[in-house]
Chains A and B, each alone.
Chain A
Amino acid sequence: EAGVAQSPRYKIIEKRQSVAFWCNPISGHATLYWYQQILGQGPKLLIQFQNNGVVDDSQLPKDRFSAERLKGVDSTLKIQPAKLEDSAVYLCASSLERGLLNEQFFGPGTRLTVL
């Protein structure tokens, strides 16, 4: 089966600019996650969707980050405006269904550099 797809793979922007990331989960996976992985750290959950509804966004900096999953499939994560500390790899993951403690499958990530 095809894995989780993400684009772009790399992005370099200047601070205060905007950026958007795209994720296509594994077909049939109802739950989608966006993680931020800063160099040398473990992934940190930003937001979790169940179909097109938000399950958890407690660690999403809502003053600058936004995410949507309008049709319950693809998702976009946006940062506006970006700060230097946003430099990280943004990982998208998906799993079959919330509540069943299923394996989360990760995409290749988008490496963001903010100058």
Chain B
Amino acid sequence: GENVEQHPSTLSVQEGDSAVIKCTYSDSASNYFPWYKQELGKRPQLIIDIRSNVGEKKDQRIAVTLNKTAKHFSLHITETQPEDSAVYFCAASVGGATNKLIFGTGTLLAVQP
């Protein structure tokens, strides 16, 4: 069935460093790839998304890249800050344009001050 793999499961960086989280997906029809941030005990919140007709998207310190051929997409956070500490989930749409999402297993990012 459809699957999204996410790595690493935990990531610790020093404040100011960059963080990269990688995901791979299995459904070649996937065309929407959102990233959610979930702080402890809080709801997931969308931080950035990308559609399959775009290779890269940037929003201030956050960027996402997509390689459709390899079925890879990545989240890049630059100049990390302690408030970036959270669990990050990638997701991929499946089944065409139904908006059904398959989520990765999450990455716990810890930014050390």
Contact = CB atoms under 8 A, between A and B. Distances in A.
B98 interface: yes
Interface of B: 4, 6, 31-32, 34, 36, 42-46, 49, 51, 89, 91, 93, 95, 97-106
A61 interface: no
Contact of A42 (B42, B46, B105): B105
B100 A48 contact: yes
Nearest to A99: B97
A55 B97 CA distance: 12
Given A103-B34, A106-B43, A106-B44, A42 B104 contact: yes
Contact of B98 (A4, A42, A99, A105): A99
Given A41-B106, A42-B89, A102 B43 contact: no
Interface string A38-67: 001111110010000001100000000000
Contacts of B4: 42
Contacts of B89: 42-43
Interface centre among B93, B98, B102, B104 (most CB of A within 10 A): B98
Contacts, number: 63
A100 B51 CA distance: 11
Contacts of B101: 45, 104
Interface centre among A31, A43, A95, A102 (most CB of B within 10 A): A43
Interface of A: 4, 31, 40-45, 48, 55-56, 91, 95, 98-109
A104 B47 CA distance: 11
Nearest to A55: B98
B43 A107 contact: yes
Contact of B49 (A31, A91, A99, A103): A103
- The 6 A-B pairs at the shortest CB distance, nearest first, are namely A42-B103, A101-B32, A106-B43, A99-B97, A106-B44, A42-B89
A28 B81 CA distance: 36
A71 B44 CA distance: 26
Contact of A100 (B45, B99, B100): B99
Contacts of B42: 108
B43 A103 contact: no
